[in-house]
Amino acid sequence: MPEAGQRARREPERPEWYPALATYETPNYYHAIRQLCNTFTPLLAVLALMFFLVKHEYPYWITLTLSVLGAGLLIRSFIFLHDCSHGSFFPSPRANAILGFIVGVLTMTPYEEWRWTHLKHHGSFANLDRRGIGDIQLMTVEEYLATPRLQQFVYRMYRHPLVLFGLGSTVLFAVIYRFTIRGTTPRERRSVWLTNGAILAMGALASLFVGLRAFLLVMTPVWCIAWAIGVLLFYLQHQFPGVYWARQDQWDFFRAALEGSSYCRLPTVLQWFTGNIGLHHLHHLRPRIPNYHLQQAYNETPAIHGIQPLSLRGTLRALRMNLYDELRQQLVSFHDLTFE
């Protein structure tokens, strides 16, 4: 019998409506440039205002309040990087690479390396035999019970919301992304060092014109809030009540997309700030659909309208689910283990 990671994948049956989604995959310069204008213009304005407030010693709570808006705009810009990684924001691959690098510097994310891990994620999401690259660590109940106590404690700490979405998100973007990872090509490794150099140059220029203290007082809360929300969104996209996970021999692409990726129906304002990423099930069905075409693609594909959106209650439950129970085929909490 083959090893778990070597199991043959079962070929999924393609729904008859699936090929029609390809019509939404064509990138459009008009929509892309419009999004750049309505995102970077207010982002630069908010940051300029924050620098002004800090330099003129206005109460810092005003700056902190504005940092929430700045973080929201930074999250939206990260969605552009995400589209660029799929070659779907601009029609031009070169333009996608340039924008991806620029947004990567602004968010302290090495674009090419992130793209490499993210595309790996798209080939392995919801697959229990292919976890570990571009995803948030998830253990099965069996794996957790077979793990030494110290490692169980480390995993519990890692999965705690205050760590995962607080300290953990900051460590990920500010520290871990500053180093290359094993298995990448020279292109991805080079992107890490180029991004690091550009971040240092950005800090040096900011220090020259506004001062290092003002730069850190403005950018630190913006970055930390954006990183925390970004990790939270990514968590909820693949770890929620009723989520589908399967071993390699049972893994089905269409079930993984529709049942292993969430649909978060957000208020219009939040949907704008998150670049329609709440339609994550549709994104995994057709990763090359640009964010600016996702809502139209959803509206015009009745076959996927039966997917229930993740509710606020479901979101809160998801934050307490830390392990996957293969026997019950569902996520469970650490608390559930004490009653088995």
Q: Print pLDDT tens along the chain (340 aa).
A: 344 444 555 566 788 999 999 999 999 999 999 999 999 999 999 999 999 999 999 999 999 999 999 999 999 999 999 999 999 999 999 999 999 999 999 999 999 999 999 999 999 999 999 998 888 999 999 999 999 999 999 999 999 999 999 999 999 999 999 999 988 999 999 999 999 999 999 999 998 999 999 999 999 999 999 999 999 999 999 999 999 999 999 999 999 999 999 999 999 999 999 999 999 999 999 999 999 999 999 999 999 999 999 887 888 889 999 999 999 999 999 988 865 5
Given this model, what pLDDT does residue 148 score? Answer: 96
Given this model, what pLDDT does residue 231 score? Answer: 96
> Could you list the residue range(s) of the whole structural domain that residue 248 is in?
24-136+161-312
Tell the residue number behind the tokens 């292993």, with chain if given: 260
Say if CB 309 and CB 263 are below 8 A apart.
yes
Residue 305 token pair: 């309208």
Give the pTM. 0.92
Given this model, what pLDDT does residue 315 score? Answer: 86
Category of 27 on φ-ψ map: left (φ > 0), alpha (ψ -120 to 50) or beta: beta
Task: Provide the CA 309 distance to its chain's centre, in angstroms.
Answer: 18
Given this model, what pLDDT does residue 340 score? Answer: 52
Q: Of all helices (H) and strands (E), which one includes residue 1?
A: none
Contacts 24+ apart (CB under 8 A), 164-172: 164/136, 164/231, 164/235, 165/228, 165/231, 165/232, 165/235, 166/228, 168/231, 169/224, 169/227, 169/228, 169/230, 169/231, 170/223, 170/224, 170/227, 170/228, 172/227, 172/231
The answer to whether residue 62 sits within a structural domain is yes
Say if CB 246 and CB 205 are below 8 A apart.
no
Q: Which of 14, 256, 239 is nearest to 127 (CA)?
A: 256
Say if CB 80 and CB 114 are below 8 A apart.
no
Report the number of secondary-structure helices (H) and strands (E) in the chain: 16, 3
Q: How many residues does the chain have?
A: 340
Residue 62 token pair: 């005003």
Number of domains, the chain:
1
Q: Which of 319, 318, 317, 323 is nearest to 338 (CA)?
A: 323
DSSP assignment of 233-255: HHHHHH-STT---B-TTT--HHH
Residue 58 token pair: 């206005």
Nearest-10 crossing angle of helices 60-85, 291-299: 70
Q: Of all helices (H) and strands (E), which one includes residue 67?
A: helix 60-85
Given this model, what pLDDT does residue 134 score? Answer: 85
Residue 68 token pair: 């929430």
The answer to whether residue 208 sits within a structural domain is yes
The answer to whether residue 325 sits within a structural domain is no
Q: Which of 151, 127, 70, 336 is nearest to 246 (CA)?
A: 127
Task: Provide the CA 295 distance to its chain's centre, in angstroms.
Answer: 18
Q: Which residues contact 291 (CB under 8 A, 6 or more apart)?
A: 35, 79, 80, 82, 83, 89, 275, 276, 277
For the CA atoms of 258, 262, 265, 270, what is the dihedral angle to 10 degrees?
-140
Residue 267 token pair: 């208020």
* End-to-end Cα distance, the chain: 30
The answer to whether residue 122 sits within a structural domain is yes
The answer to whether residue 114 sits within a structural domain is yes
The answer to whether residue 287 sits within a structural domain is yes
The answer to whether residue 132 sits within a structural domain is yes
Cα angle 279, 300, 241 (rounded to 5 degrees) comes to 30
Q: Of all helices (H) and strands (E), which one includes residue 140?
A: strand 139-140
